[in-house]
Structure 1
Amino acid sequence: MDRPALKKDAKSILNSHFSFYFLLWLPVFILEAIGAILFYPDDPTNDALTTSEDIGLFLTFLAALMAIGLFFVSIDAIRQSLQYDQPLQKSFTLFSRGEYFLGTLLIYILIFIFSFLWSLLLIIPGIIKSMAYSQAYYIYRDAIDKGESIGYLEAITRSRQLMDGHKWEYFVMSLSFIGWGLLVAFTAGIAAIWVQPYMVLSFANFYNELIEQQTAANSQQPPVTDPPSTTTPDQLSNDQTPKA
């Protein structure tokens, strides 16, 4: 997989439509900022969460869910099927269909539980499994849009299968954004206005490439044919004889 090419395509899309992506991500940025401010404890020595911290935690969680909805917008951009209009309306893509919201929420919870349980064994298995589950949201959304019936666990299972042999590539892709993450930290989050859409577009492109590779591999498999008949001419004649 050509990682630099995937990131270059994502960067080209973002730079060509930056004003759209800025407005698209603006509600998420606002929720993240308010959530971070409220969640910061007034008294670090107090272990109990205050009401403001509870609200901050909820807003951060809501922002994370909304960001997953923007994964769907990003995959449409990668596939050149996105209309670059009404960015604020598209910010709430997750809530545009009940299946999107419910599926994303339950898959999010299941992935958290599974990753947490694997992490109880060792940190490394938890990270590996998190990467294996990373494509579940895209898979679920594609199935819903095609009218397919898909369960939440099935989406996670398909993600594991799709990521088989590609987890190292995903890991390297993640590492390639460390410098950008440091830039976001040094700018107190301001650089996220550009970096966050860039990362999401890049990983959407990663998923699209996986699907294209899977489709190409399936098309190269020989068709399944029925085994040759072992019926003899005599048997054929007997079978065709009318019975009383």
Structure 2
Amino acid sequence: MMHIARAQIKKEAKEKLRGHWGEAILVGLLPFLVLFFTEAAAINQAMATMKANPNAASAASDSTNLLARSLLLNASAGTSSVQNILLDLLATLLMASTALGFLSLWRREPDQMNPFLRSLIGFRPEYIGGLIVNYIVLSLIGYIPSLIGAIGDKLWIDVLMSIAFICVVIIQIGFSQTYYIYHDAVDAGHGNIFQALKLSWQLMSGFKWQYFVLQLSFIGWSLLTLFLGMLPYLWIYPYMSMTYAGFYTQLKEYKPDLLNPAVSKK
């Protein structure tokens, strides 16, 4: 069985961050600021919103990441579903773009670059269209359990919804490398988001459980932010993002024949 050593990747991530922590914190600062201020605003608005409408925050449950949920919760009072979708899209694009920024930081390509510009790599014209399509595809998949749950409240529906939720998690993990692959493919002149989705699924074959466990290994750090406030997030987020970039790098080394045709320059 193919195996990627979590401890080794985390060690390498720390080594790459050594001497570059300031730059890494700045790369992750934009999503941190958005998260911090939306969380603060959400706490204030949630109390008033729940008094007026206890179900107003339910839209946040459809989101696929913490930042997007925060944005949706902040927007739940008096905003339309279209606005919620746009906020969710913005949050997801921001997280994907920052992930690409940390991938470039892992590779030091380029070695010198404004940290804020590095965090906004995904918003470049050559990438943004594909990332939006990726968001649409994953969002449609993510809504499946909710659609099943809307059928009714019978036991078999609850069981089916639980099974669908597990399947969605597996699918999302399988597609977790899509934006990395798409970034490399675009740079090589082979940009196709649907091909990137396919390659991500193939690349993650045999590694989905390892990636899931890698995500679980950061739970302790995430809990730390709950007890100590959002400040530790400034250090934790770069560490996590660099580790995920390292995981992708290791995957490419395990399956060079799979990705080389797609990410090799013409």
TM-score (norm. length: structure 2)? 0.73
Using a 3 Å threshold, how does the CA distance of structure 1 residues 158 and 131 change in structure 2: closer, same or farther?
A: same
User: SS of the counterpart of 2:253?
Assistant: helix
Task: Tell me how far apart the structure 1 counterparts of residues 167 and 196 of structure 2 sit (CA, whole Å).
Answer: 20
Residue in structure 2 matching 1:79, options 88, 92, 107: 107
Residue in structure 1 matching 2:185, options 143, 155, 163: 143
The Cα shift of 1:16 comes to: 2.1
TM-score (norm. length: structure 1)? 0.79
User: SS of the counterpart of 1:156?
Assistant: helix
Opposite residue 6 of structure 2, the aligned amino acid is R
Residues 35, 57 of structure 1: 8 Å contact kept: no
Q: Residues 113-192 of structure 1 correspond to what in structure 2 (within 5 A)?
A: 113-117=140-144, 120=148, 121=160, 122=163, 123-150=165-192, 152-192=193-233
**Are residues 1:44 and 2:50 paired?**
yes
User: Which residue in the other structure is 1:92 paired with?
Assistant: 120
Residues 72, 141 of structure 1: 8 Å contact kept: yes
Please say which of residues 108-117 and 162-171 is displaced more in the overlay.
108-117
User: Which residue in the other structure is 2:138 paired with?
Assistant: 111
User: Which residue in the other structure is 1:232 paired with?
Assistant: none
The Cα shift of 1:162 comes to: 0.7
Using a 3 Å threshold, how does the CA distance of structure 1 residues 112 and 53 change in structure 2: closer, same or farther?
A: closer
Q: Deviations over 1:99-152 (max 9, x none)?
A: 3112112202211212332675422212111111101111111110101141x3
Task: Tell me how far apart the structure 1 counterparts of residues 79 and 22 of structure 2 sit (CA, whole Å).
Answer: 32
Please say which of residues 6-15 and 116-125 is displaced more in the overlay.
116-125
User: Which residue in the other structure is 1:197 paired with?
Assistant: 238
In the alignment, structure 2 segments of 5+ residues that lack a partner are 57-75, 149-159, 261-266
User: SS of the counterpart of 2:255?
Assistant: helix
Residues 199, 259 of structure 2: 8 Å contact kept: no
Residues 3, 173 of structure 1: 8 Å contact kept: yes
Q: Deviations over 1:5-38 (max 9, x none)?
A: 1111112222320111122222221111222233
User: SS of the counterpart of 1:44?
Assistant: helix
Larger radius of gyration: 1
Residue in structure 1 matching 2:25, options 9, 17, 22: 22
Task: Tell me how far apart the structure 2 counterparts of residues 88 and 98 of structure 1 sit (CA, whole Å).
Answer: 17
Opposite residue 204 of structure 2, the aligned amino acid is M
| Equivalent residue pairs, number | 217
Q: What percent identity do the matched residue pairs reach?
A: 32
User: Which residue in the other structure is 1:241 paired with?
Assistant: none
User: Which residue in the other structure is 1:9 paired with?
Assistant: 12
